[in-house]
Structure 1
Amino acid sequence: MNWSYPTISRNAEQGAMWAAALLGLSIPISTSLDSILAGLIVALLLVGGRYRDRIGAVRDNPIVLPALVFFGMYLVGLLYGEATGYEAMESLAKASDLLLIPILLYLFREAGIRRMALAGFLTAIVSMIVISYLLWLDVIPPIGLFHITNDDAYTPFHHRITHSSLMAFGAYLFAVKARLEPRPAVRCIYALLGIAALANVLFIVSGRTGYVVALALGGYFLIAGLRWRGVAVAAIVVSILGVAVYLMPDSVPHQRLAMMAEEIAEWQPGEPTETSVGYRLEYYQNSLRLIAEHPLLGAGTGGFKRAYASLVKDKGMDPTANPHNEYLMVTIQLGLVGLALLLWLLYTLWRRASDLPGGFERSAARGLVVWLLSASMVSSTLIDHTEGFFFVWMSALCFAGWSAAGGESVRPCRYPSS
């Protein structure tokens, strides 16, 4: 057996690549396994060495700089604000997922590993579809392995917000696969999986976040595929769905939307509330007040909880640690500067997607931006472990094959010398 350092380095790197691919399977299923695989990746790369080569391999990738600068703002946010040391480090730890982007870009540089990673993710989505429907049909009991609460009746691995958010993106990827697939039989399979995933979001799992994300991704899919005709088609589809939901009062979306309308009507600005929608409206209103107090740099990394509790003290309102809106969460902590850096990252993902080598990668990358933009309106996406981890992982998976036009030729992202 060869125990030379080059051999150890090569084997460690290969193991890290496999672990990165396995994240695709684990992200929709197990947060614990995510953490184990991420720790394993870092450990293997530390053993493997060759740090300069690895940095050189990804430093030209367009999403590296905005991701690192955005994380750097969280470091700057440690220098001010009133957050406790624990609160600040907890927020920084969640933001540190951004550091995985350059690491995963390096590990996904081989097309075969990227295909394996994507296959793992889609396999996990299929397992979510199958188990969710089996739970809904009472074929299997809601016990044991499955993450079940009263509000998460048909979600096998995560609560309904995470489940419906990932399921909506899975439906979008299956739709993209179906659109690009030349073989009729395989195209039909992808289309059926996409329909099953979308129906799961709309009619089985009662997650409002899923409705928002599915509507945004569905609209983008139609517009991207049909251009201006897609706008008309999207409007027609939404109208038909709206009428169908209205005419089906016993359906899950009808009941959820009716409850939302009732709770919005009941909410009184400035008064304590006890409804789900009322809480969110209360969080949004108070969060905007906090932003007005510290507009430029915010209340500092980890500063949301303490600042919000101080604002609502003695008002009978819920002293939440989460405004359920990523834009508000970032802006309260890091100010308009932090929000601008987040939008810079998303703009870069969108704009440079045109440089990606394949139609699927381009559609997946821009779909990811639509996914985050829409989900972040109704949840703090990046601080939620699974959603934040998925965004980082999928960003790297899409952009690892990036190439930039250089004159008349195409200059690939640099790879380390052997």
Structure 2
Amino acid sequence: MENKLSRVTVDAKQASFVPNWRLCLALPSSMAASDFLACITVASLPWSTTITSIFSALWALSVCPRIRIKEFVDTLVRSRSGFAAALFAVALAGTLWATDVSWAARLRGVNPSVKFLMMPILIYHFQKSSRAIWILYAFLSSCTVLLMLSWITAVVPSLTSIANLQPGVPVKNYIDQSQSFALCAVVLAWPILELIRSRKINLALLLLALSVAFLVNLSFVALARTALIYVPIMLFLFGAFYLPRSFFYGAIACFVFLAGTAWLASSTLRDRTNSILLEYSKYGASNEITSAGMRLEYWRKSLIFFREAPVLGHGTGSVQTLFDRAAHGQTGLAAQTISNPHNQTLNVAVQWGSVGCVILYAMWIGQLTFFAGSGFYPWLGFIVVVQNIVSSLFNSHLFDFVPGWLYVIGVSLAAGMILQRVDGIARHDGGGER
């Protein structure tokens, strides 16, 4: 088994970013339809919640008729995606013990976890598809168009839509935009490095320019404060895993220099950084309502709610009810209510207690270990999980729409391609032995 996995690593390193057209055209039309729906889903993700929801459902439905139960169970076990399905299962079961919560609220609480049920289905699809690279092209192209529009609306704020008053954020919000741009910028590091090693300098420089453009946009146009934490961590992990040690230390020094330069040059970056320190310093010293102060208050109350029901939690959809009850008769920060405590662990713990937390961390750890290898697809899956874990310290990003779908699709694509290569090597070895 170790020999097969090592060969997968080498194969992944040598994977071409050009699709095999003959193989693609030779596949059944149902597979082609699923790949087409997948492309629309990922391309629409940075832009439209409605389009993504519709086409992701159509995508999953198009895969289901091709599923063979024995193969599907095998995929579920090997990819360790059963924990994702279990998270949906506990959310569904949690509706049964959610007391003093309307059924409408319980069903709304289930809704964000439905996409986890789709993860094994999407992994199964990518395990069979030869067009997986199209998904990457579709998402990168979509984010590149959004990047250009972001720069345009930053320079000409009057072009920003009436519904969105922030220049540089033409659609959705700056948190979702930052999540997408940061992922593109960091994931591109692997093909850039491989192109340099292959002496394809022109293409490497083109991708490097695109990656830098994403990072510069984050620094000077619109930045989610959480990105100040997960972007350096993601870049550090890439350097630690893939760069030679002598070059890695130089890269750290270069990054510190560039980050310092960006901080001095960008008022956006300075304001976002300083606001964190200022808002946290006010918490406890005054009753002023700030973004950071509200987070700390949400976390404090969530820990109290968890201690009240530590094993199974208060049930699905109970968060809003609990905060409303705690805010009764209060003023200032204590009077703030929310349906999302802005921390993934606490969100799970309040609703499903320790049982939910065990499933959540088993999913994260299982996927991190599954992607513990070299090559593009292990890197893609690993960094998607890392970004989600870090950003989920300050948000419930598994349950938020864009970050949650980035996680589900990114993990599914990477896991499916790894399994596809393992199966390909197994068939090759089996044929040789016969």
Equivalent position of 1:255 in the other structure: 271
Q: Does 1:24 align with 2:32?
A: no
Equivalent position of 2:257 in the other structure: 240
Q: 1:173 aligns with which of 187, 203, 223?
A: 187
Deviations 1:128-168 (A, max 9, x none): 21111111222871137xxx533x32112220011111111
Q: Does 1:187 align with 2:204?
A: yes
- Over the matched positions of the two proteins, sequence identity in percent amounts to 21
Q: Secondary structure at the match of 1:301?
A: coil
Equivalent position of 2:171 in the other structure: 157
What CA distance in whole angstroms lies between the structure 1 residues aligned with 2:73 and 2:298?
A: 44
Q: Does 1:205 align with 2:222?
A: yes
What CA distance in whole angstroms lies between the structure 1 residues aligned with 2:61 and 2:125?
A: 14
What CA distance in whole angstroms lies between the structure 2 residues aligned with 1:87 and 1:242?
A: 44
What CA distance in whole angstroms lies between the structure 2 residues aligned with 1:363 and 1:45?
A: 26
Change beyond 3 A, Cα 1:258–1:13: same
What CA distance in whole angstroms lies between the structure 1 residues aligned with 2:112 and 2:326?
A: 24
Q: 1:268 aligns with which of 277, 284, 288?
A: 284
Q: 1:302 aligns with which of 317, 331, 334?
A: 317
Equivalent position of 2:121 in the other structure: 103
Change beyond 3 A, Cα 1:94–1:136: same
Output the amino acid matched with 2:179.
S
What CA distance in whole angstroms lies between the structure 1 residues aligned with 2:297 and 2:107?
A: 27
Q: Secondary structure at the match of 2:186?
A: helix
Residues 37, 55 of structure 2: 8 Å contact kept: yes
Output the amino acid matched with 1:99.
L
What CA distance in whole angstroms lies between the structure 1 residues aligned with 2:40 and 2:184?
A: 17
In structure 2, runs of 5+ residues without a counterpart are 1-27, 429-434
Deviations 1:260-316 (A, max 9, x none): 2222111117x7432111111211221122122222221111111112222232122
Residues 279, 293 of structure 2: 8 Å contact kept: yes
In structure 1, runs of 5+ residues without a counterpart are 1-9, 413-418
Change beyond 3 A, Cα 1:50–1:404: closer
Residues 342, 395 of structure 2: 8 Å contact kept: yes
Residues 61, 402 of structure 1: 8 Å contact kept: no
Equivalent position of 2:18 in the other structure: none
Q: 2:59 aligns with which of 18, 41, 51?
A: 41
Change beyond 3 A, Cα 1:352–1:384: same
User: What's the offset of the Cα at 1:225?
Assistant: 2.2
What CA distance in whole angstroms lies between the structure 1 residues aligned with 2:282 and 2:210?
A: 39
What CA distance in whole angstroms lies between the structure 2 residues aligned with 1:15 and 1:352?
A: 29
Residues 60, 122 of structure 2: 8 Å contact kept: no
Residues 134, 140 of structure 1: 8 Å contact kept: no
Q: 1:128 aligns with which of 124, 141, 146?
A: 146
Equivalent position of 1:351 in the other structure: 369
Equivalent position of 1:375 in the other structure: 391
How many residue pairs get aligned? The number is 393
What CA distance in whole angstroms lies between the structure 2 residues aligned with 1:115 and 1:28?
A: 18
User: What's the offset of the Cα at 1:396?
Assistant: 0.7
Q: Secondary structure at the match of 1:208?
A: coil
Residues 91, 113 of structure 2: 8 Å contact kept: yes
Q: Does 1:312 align with 2:330?
A: no
What CA distance in whole angstroms lies between the structure 2 residues aligned with 1:247 and 1:26?
A: 35
Residues 316, 351 of structure 2: 8 Å contact kept: yes
User: What's the offset of the Cα at 1:366?
Assistant: 0.8
What CA distance in whole angstroms lies between the structure 2 residues aligned with 1:50 and 1:259?
A: 51
Deviations 1:331-352 (A, max 9, x none): 1111122112111111111111
User: What's the offset of the Cα at 1:186?
Assistant: 0.8
Q: Does 1:62 align with 2:76?
A: no
What CA distance in whole angstroms lies between the structure 1 residues aligned with 2:254 and 2:276?
A: 22
Output the amino acid matched with 1:68.
A
What CA distance in whole angstroms lies between the structure 1 residues aligned with 2:138 and 2:113?
A: 25
Output the amino acid matched with 2:186.
Y
Q: Secondary structure at the match of 2:242?
A: helix
Q: Give TM-score scaled by structure 2 length.
A: 0.82
Q: 1:395 aligns with which of 407, 411, 419?
A: 411
User: What's the offset of the Cα at 1:405?
Assistant: 11
What CA distance in whole angstroms lies between the structure 2 residues aligned with 1:166 and 1:141?
A: 22
After TM superposition, the structure 1 stretch with the greater mean CA deviation from structure 2, 287-296 or 393-402, is 287-296
Equivalent position of 2:232 in the other structure: 215
Q: 1:293 aligns with which of 308, 314, 321?
A: 308
Equivalent position of 1:340 in the other structure: 358
